[in-house]
Amino acid sequence: MINKNDEYIVEIIDNGIDGEGIAKIDGYTLFVEGAIKGEKIKVLIVKANKTYGYGKIIELIEKSPYRVEPICPQYKKCGGCSLQHMSYEAQMRYKEEKVKKTINKFLGENNNFIFNSIIGMGIPYNYRNKAQYPCQSGKIGFYSVRSHEVIENNYCYIQDEESDKLAKKAFDILMQSNNVCYNEKDGTGNIRHIMVRIGKNSGELMLVIITKNEVLLGKEELIKKLKEEFPNLKSIIQNINDKNTNIIMGKTCKTLYGEDYIVDILGEYKFKISPLSFYQVNPVQTEILYYTAVEMAKLKGDEISFDLYCGIGTISSFLSSKCKKVYGVEIVPEAIEDAKENAKLNEITNIDFRCGAAEDIIPKMYEEDNIKANVVFVDPPRKGCDQVLLDTIIKMKPEKMIYISCNVATLGRDLKYLIDNSFELQIVQPVDQFPQTAHVETIALLRLK
Ligand SMILES: C[S@@+](CC[C@H](N)C(=O)[O-])C[C@H]1O[C@@H](n2cnc3c(N)ncnc32)[C@H](O)[C@@H]1O
């Protein structure tokens, strides 16, 4: 019987889905944060359930050769980067194994797909173009791990330095103007989050102040001071979120200064990005992701392609010069408006964007309008593709399918369904979009059998 506060010496036999170390004590599974496969450690049991529990490292008896000193002094307090204690090389090996193991778990070992090494990042720091800083009790920073307590912080090693500076400066001005931070316990106060987006290739900055209500004190002062200090600041938006929720942004946006979008460049294309639209967070790796995915489809130029879950039309644009026609489908109206504008901005005339859920739009297009694709790209959110959409794709029988996923568990589930229904998996290609964290992006190429 394993009990809380017991101590054990264990060997870490694996790293789990979030990077946590896994040990076994007579069949009992123990999860240990910050432990690396191959290490021998002394652990204190901090939580004991019947068949599994959680341990805390109290002594590293045999250290992994891949263990490094985390670069960030806030590493232990912040839940943001769970792999900073591993060398970048070890992070990449961990992600490859995670993708391979998860897909094999769903498909069985006898699948003969080609598994390519992960595409890593040259400098795996300061890569993010979007930062969301919670504000609480006169402080701006990050949520302490597994809590909603804000820890003050001035520098994040995966964010852009300019984002950190702009958010801190805006917050200080807002506090000097007597604005009060939102208190999620009793619903009082107003300033909830500050979000900064930076076009890494254009330099353009967007500041979004997320508030509980419409009031914002000292707007003129804020705009004047920020304009002086940040000449690349193109847009200041107030977003109103009056719900008692963990979802950061509300639906209402008011432009306080400049445009209601910023522009960034990916490959040879420009993209307008609105505050509510999805945009991949690591542009260096996104270009690689898109070029690799399009290349994997080996298009001849006469195909009709679908780009489902298309966001602001980025993949559609990369596809547009490689095939005859592209249909892009996206559920967020603001994003599809951006997508249409982006096609104009890039003088692309062969994309048809449609707004709605892919699982509603695609069956109608296929069954009522007889529109079929030779190649289907999907890039769904973490929950994966809707079953109705997969069933329609199976009926439609495109020659190829490219599945881009940020959650290998739902990717594995959907691949299994597609493979059981007339597709075969040919290539799996992980791409490291999220260095220092346990997240990984994966591209899978399927062909009709
Ligand atoms: C992972 S993002 C990918 C966006 C785009 N492909 C890119 O690379 O920027 C997933 C997108 O799917 C959209 N989405 C979520 N559920 C959807 C649905 N049922 N139908 C269509 N789009 C959906 C989200 O709004 C988001 O823009």
Nearest CA to ligand 1 atom 26: 311
CA distance 179 to 38: 51
Active site residue 406: yes
- pLDDT score of 83: 97
Q: What CATH class does 130-265 carry?
A: mainly beta
Weakest mean pLDDT among 140-149, 333-342, 426-435:
140-149
Whole-number pLDDT of residue 146: 86
Q: Is the CB of 381 under 6 A from ligand 1?
A: yes
Of the candidate CATH numbers 1.10.150.170, 2.40.50.140, 3.20.20.140, 3.40.50.1240, the domain formed by 7-62 belongs to 2.40.50.140
Reported as a pLDDT band with limits 50, 70 and 90, residue 222 is very high
Most ligand 1 atoms within 8 A of CB, residue of 129, 279, 309, 337 to mutate:
309
Q: Is the pLDDT of residue 73 over 90?
A: yes
Superfamily of domain 92-122+282-448: Vaccinia Virus protein VP39 (3.40.50.150)
At 442, is the pLDDT very low, low, confident or very high (cuts 50, 70, 90)?
very high
CB of residue 65 inside a 6 A radius of ligand 1: no
Which of 306, 331, 360 maximizes ligand 1 atoms within 8 Å of its Cβ, making it the mutation to test the pocket?
Answer: 331
Cβ–ligand 1 contact at 329 (below 6 Å)? yes
What are the start-end ranges of the E strands in 241-350? 252-258, 262-266, 269-273, 304-308, 325-330
For residues 55-84, average pLDDT? 95
Rounded CA-CA distance 329/313 in Å is 9
Reply yes or no on whether the pLDDT at 437 is more than 80: yes
Domain with CATH 2.40.50.1070 in the chain: 130-265
Encode pLDDT of 359-391 as tens digits: 999 999 999 999 999 999 999 999 999 999 999
- The b-or-e profile of 279-318 (16+ CB within 10 A means b, else e) is bbbbbbbbbbbbebbbebbebeeebbbbbbbbbbbbbbbb
What is the whole-number distance in angstroms between the Cα of residue 330 and the centre of ligand 1? 6
Q: Which pLDDT value is given to residue 422?
A: 92
Burial class (CB in 10 A: 0-12, 13-18, 19+), 56: middle
**Does ligand 1 come within 6 angstroms of the Cβ of 309?**
yes
- For 42, list phi and psi in degrees, rounded to 5: -95, 125
Mean pLDDT of 330-345: 97
**CATH 3.40.50.150 placement within the chain:** 92-122+282-448
Q: For 126-155, what is each residue's pLDDT tens digit?
A: 999 999 999 999 999 999 988 999 999 889
| pLDDT score recorded for residue 274 | 97
CATH 2.40.50.140 placement within the chain: 7-62
pLDDT score, position 110: 74
**Mean pLDDT taken over the chain:** 97
362 ligand 1 Cβ < 6 A: no
Q: Which amino acid is at 385?
A: C
Residue indicated by tokens 């000292």: 218
Give pLDDT, residue 79: 82
| pLDDT value at 109 more than 80 | no
pLDDT band at residue 187 under the 50/70/90 scheme: very high
What is the pLDDT averaged over residues 186-204?
97
Angstrom distance (rounded) from CA 331 to CA 286: 21
Averaged over 410-426, what is the pLDDT?
97
Distance 294 CA to ligand 1 centre (A): 18
